């Protein structure tokens, strides 16, 4: 676990400072590190009861040194789960489209990979049984640190407005479970974090 006071500066680092530190660690990962973590993440996540009984899962395609999701996406699809993937809109909100396999992913803005199929609208996420969230860290309270674009803050707010309560699960590396992340009023806690080393639940 990374302790918040391991970073230079004030006792609680700023979000931007914590992001820089965590991204620097990720940048040092090798392709073998990333591949091994992806396989372990898929195994751990597929053991979750929330995914075992899910009919629809909102997820995302990992890129670069992010904790890998592709093995998990394919395993869910092979189970007959309807997997929804995000499509980034010009205002940083997210539309959603069905995942139909790696060969149906296309390059999009900001280096992202997105499905090439029909767009279902931003509210499609409210019908998911589980939502898998990207992030850079999560703390002891289940508060997640994202990359700062606000896309998933909108998703979580949309779920709340709709009265939807899918399982909210963030996928991270083991050392990205931290003591504290800076909190803001709009932050929504997740239910669980999955890392290659295991699962931790909150609340």
| Residue 109 annotated as binding site | no
| Residue 203 annotated as binding site | no
| Residue 27 annotated as binding site | no
Q: In angstroms, what CA-CA distances link 21 with 5, 108, 136, 175?
A: 12, 26, 10, 12
pLDDT average, residue stretch 34-51: 95
Strands (E), 8-147: 56-58, 82-88, 94-98, 105-107, 113-115, 130-133, 137-138, 144-145
pLDDT average, residue stretch 136-161: 92
Q: Is the pLDDT of residue 65 over 80?
A: yes
Q: Is the pLDDT of residue 9 over 80?
A: no
| Residue 68 annotated as binding site | no
CA dihedral 68, 69, 75, 80 (to 10 degrees): 180
- What's the chain's average pLDDT? 91
Q: How far is Cα 197 from Cα 203, in angstroms, rounded to an integer?
A: 20
Q: CB–CB of 56/127 below 8 Å?
A: yes
| Residue 15 annotated as binding site | yes
| Residue 66 annotated as binding site | yes
Instruction: Place 186 in a pLDDT band, splitting at 50, 70 and 90.
Output: confident
Q: Is the pLDDT of residue 86 over 60?
A: yes
User: Does residue 78 sit in helix, strand or coil?
Assistant: helix
| Residue 143 annotated as binding site | no
Tell me the domains of the chain and their CATH numbers.
6-201 (3.40.50.10420)
Q: For residue 58, which of 13, 116, 121, 15 has the smallest C-alpha distance?
A: 121
| Residue 77 annotated as binding site | no
- Which of 12-26, 81-95, 170-184 has the lowest average pLDDT? 12-26
| Residue 159 annotated as binding site | no
- The three-point CA angle 153-196-13 to 5° equals 45
| Residue 144 annotated as binding site | yes
| Residue 65 annotated as binding site | no
| Residue 184 annotated as binding site | no
User: 184: Cβ–Cβ under 8 A, 6 or more apart, which residues?
Assistant: none
pLDDT average, residue stretch 4-26: 72
- Which of 6-15, 66-75, 139-148, 177-186 has the lowest average pLDDT? 6-15
């Amino acid at each position: 676990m990374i302790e918040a006071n391991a970073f230079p500066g004030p006792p609680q680092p700023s979000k931007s400072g914590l992001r820089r530190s965590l991204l620097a660690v990720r940048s040092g990962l090798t392709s073998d590190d990333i591949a091994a973590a992806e396989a372990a993440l898929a195994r751990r996540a597929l053991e979750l009861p929330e995914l075992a009984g899910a009919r629809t899962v909102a997820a995302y395609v990992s890129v670069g040194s992010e904790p890998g999701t592709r093995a998990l996406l394919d395993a869910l699809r092979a189970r007959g789960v309807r997997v929804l993937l995000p499509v980034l809109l010009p205002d940083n909100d997210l539309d959603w489209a069905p995942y139909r396999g790696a060969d149906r992913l296309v390059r999009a803005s900001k280096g992202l990979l997105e499905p090439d199929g029909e767009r279902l609208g931003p509210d499609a996420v409210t019908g998911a049984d589980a939502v898998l969230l990207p992030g850079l860290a999560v703390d002891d309270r289940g508060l997640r640190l994202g990359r700062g674009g606000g896309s998933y803050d909108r998703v979580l707010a949309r779920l709340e407005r709709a009265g939807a309560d899918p399982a909210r699960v963030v996928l991270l590396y083991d050392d990205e479970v931290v003591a504290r992340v800076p909190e803001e009023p709009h932050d929504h806690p997740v239910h669980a974090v999955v890392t290659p080393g295991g699962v931790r639940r909150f609340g």
